[in-house]
Every structure is written in C-alpha cells, then in structure tokens.
C-alpha cells in the first residue's frame, strides 16, 4: 500500500513504541505471518487469486479475529482498495487486485498480508512459485529474499536508513536486477503507514538514525529488467514498464537495543540465512495465542 503523502518526514514524527505497544505489535506481526503459513498449500496452478483472497479474508476474520487492513483502505488520491489482500503476479510489482483469473504453472506471485489486531497492524509478504518456473524467475525470487535479509542485517541503533537501502541496492544490482524507487518500506503501528519511509536504495551513512523502539517494514521490490514502473487503470496495480518479472518480500522489524527483532515470523516462514546468526537479529519465541 502507498504511504500517506501527507505524513511528515521529520525525525520528530517517528513514533517510538512503548513496551505495551511492542507486545501488541508482536501479536499482530505473528498473525500476519500465520495467514501466509495458512494460505501456502492453496497457491497451486488453477487457483484464482480471488479464491486466495476469500480464504485469507475468512481466516483473518473468523479464525484470528482480525481485520484485513487493505479492505476499503483509501489514502488521499486513491479509491478504496476492494479486497483483503494484494496478489501481484509476474510483472505486477505491487498492489495487484485479486481477480477470477487462475494462476498457471510457471507464474510467480506475491501475496501481501496486513492484519489489524486490537488496533495494531502486522504487515508481511512472500513470493510463491506456482509449479515449476524459469531459472530467471526462481533466481529473481531468491535474490529478492536475500535483499530482504541483507537489509534486516543493517538494522540496529545508530545505523541509518541509507545503510539499509544501500545494502539492498548493491546486492540487487550486482545480480543484474533493478530496484523500484517509487515504493518503499514504512513505519507501522496503530496506523498502516507511519514515518519513516524506508527506501531500498541509497547511500550508506545517510538518512534518519535508527533508535530503539522504532518499528518499520523492509519490503524490497526488485525487477528483472529496468526499474521503471507504470500504474494500471484500476488505480492500484503497479507493473514493470518493460513487462519484466518483479518480486517482493516483506518483514516488519523492531529496532532493539542490540539490533533487530523480526516481528512477522512464524512456524512456516522461510528460514533466515545461516550467516544471519552472526548478526544481532532475533526471532520471537511465541507462546500459544488464546
């Protein structure tokens, strides 16, 4: 989802979460990730993204007791988003609207989930490969996942937002891919989109300094071709201008005293790379939810 363009970009506007708010964000983050766990077996050739949306909606509302944050979301200048999740296929970069068209073997699709639980948002997305896919498609999904973890590894107090973007950009471009500029990660909490805006490109040592208690998403959108994008007439779906493949992965992070805590982590979430064990990144050990 696009951030609210009216939001201030000053450091003073960044909300540092309290201990109680952090606990609530842990719950919301876990629930968002568990929607992705739940839907994974259904992402197969022949299923429609509209069916995936219905399944996720019912799971969020009837099982988790959550509100699907995208449904009817309407930042300034946008018509209300009509579905409960975003489903972006192949050359769709983000905000793809679920539809009756069926997924086919070889497609790649991003499912972007945001839930609201007790007034707090949890936001995460994953790439899914539908059956067998091309070497390029599989490599793009893998490099984009690596970009996500490389960005997470930069998160710690005293680091700057530019460190995250620079690390992601270097890895993507070294692989021959490009980074979408127009959409970014964002602060999150009681609001879907808060400051800061977290770009996935930039210069190390620049930008807002990270502080303990900040919570934001990292969600690199990486294109196999050029970085240029276009919007479709539906007012939401963003595609690559050259119709090359695009991939995205997303986690919500808490800046801790030592490094980062991945809030959108659950039993079936893709495992973090082994090298991350050397970095101050932690994954919550969740008690069972009531």
Q: Give domain status of residue 52, yes or no.
A: yes
When pLDDT is averaged across residues 116-141 and rounded to a whole number, the result is 97
Q: Give domain status of residue 288, yes or no.
A: no
Q: Give domain status of residue 202, yes or no.
A: yes
Nearest to 98 by CA among 51, 57, 45, 145: 51
110 sits in which H/E element: strand 108-117
Confidence of residue 283 (pLDDT cuts 50, 70, 90): confident
Q: How many domains does the chain have?
A: 1
Q: Give domain status of residue 223, yes or no.
A: yes
Are 173 and 163 in contact by the 8 Å Cβ rule? The answer is no
Confidence of residue 285 (pLDDT cuts 50, 70, 90): low
Q: Give domain status of residue 115, yes or no.
A: yes
When pLDDT is averaged across residues 283-288 and rounded to a whole number, the result is 66
- CATH code of the domain covering residue 168: 3.90.230.10
Containing structural domain, residue 77: 11-282
At 10 the pLDDT is: 52
- Mind listing the pLDDT tens digit for each residue in 155-204? 999 999 999 999 999 999 999 999 999 999 999 999 999 999 999 999 99
Q: Give domain status of residue 1, yes or no.
A: no
- Residue 5 pLDDT exceeds 50: no
Q: Give domain status of residue 49, yes or no.
A: yes
Tokens of 170: 């270097």
Give this prediction's pTM: 0.93
SS3 43: coil
Q: Give domain status of residue 4, yes or no.
A: no
When pLDDT is averaged across residues 87-95 and rounded to a whole number, the result is 98
- Residue 4 pLDDT exceeds 60: no
């Amino acid at each position: 989802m696009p951030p609210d363009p009216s939001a201030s970009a000053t450091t003073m506007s960044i909300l540092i979460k309290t201990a109680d708010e952090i606990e609530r964000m842990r719950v919301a983050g876990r629930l968002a990730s568990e929607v992705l766990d739940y839907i994974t077996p259904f992402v197969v050739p022949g299923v429609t993204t509209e069916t995936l949306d219905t399944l996720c909606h019912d799971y969020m509302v009837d099982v988790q007791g959550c509100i699907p944050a995208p449904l009817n979301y309407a930042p300034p200048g946008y018509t209300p988003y009509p579905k409960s999740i975003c489903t972006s296929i192949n050359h769709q970069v983000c905000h793809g609207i679920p539809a009756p068209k069926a997924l086919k073997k070889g497609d790649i699709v991003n499912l972007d989930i945001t839930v609201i639980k007790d007034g707090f948002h949890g936001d995460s997305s994953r790439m899914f490969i539908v059956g067998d896919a091309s070497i390029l498609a599989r490599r793009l999904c893998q490099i984009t996942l690596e970009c996500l973890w490389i960005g997470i590894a930069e998160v710690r107090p005293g680091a700057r937002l530019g460190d995250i973007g620079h690390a992601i950009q270097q890895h993507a471009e070294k692989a021959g891919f490009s980074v979408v500029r127009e959409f970014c990660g964002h602060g999150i909490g009681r609001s879907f989109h808060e400051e800061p805006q977290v770009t996935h490109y930039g210069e190390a040592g620049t930008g807002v300094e990270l502080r303990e208690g900040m919570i934001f998403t990292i969600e690199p959108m990486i294109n196999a071709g050029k970085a240029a994008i276009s919007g479709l007439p539906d007012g939401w779906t963003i595609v690559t201008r050259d119709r090359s493949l695009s991939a995205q992965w997303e986690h919500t992070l808490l800046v801790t005293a030592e490094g980062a805590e991945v809030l959108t982590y659950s039993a079936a979430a893709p495992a973090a790379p082994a090298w991350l064990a050397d970095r101050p990144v932690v994954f919550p050990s969740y008690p069972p939810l009531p």
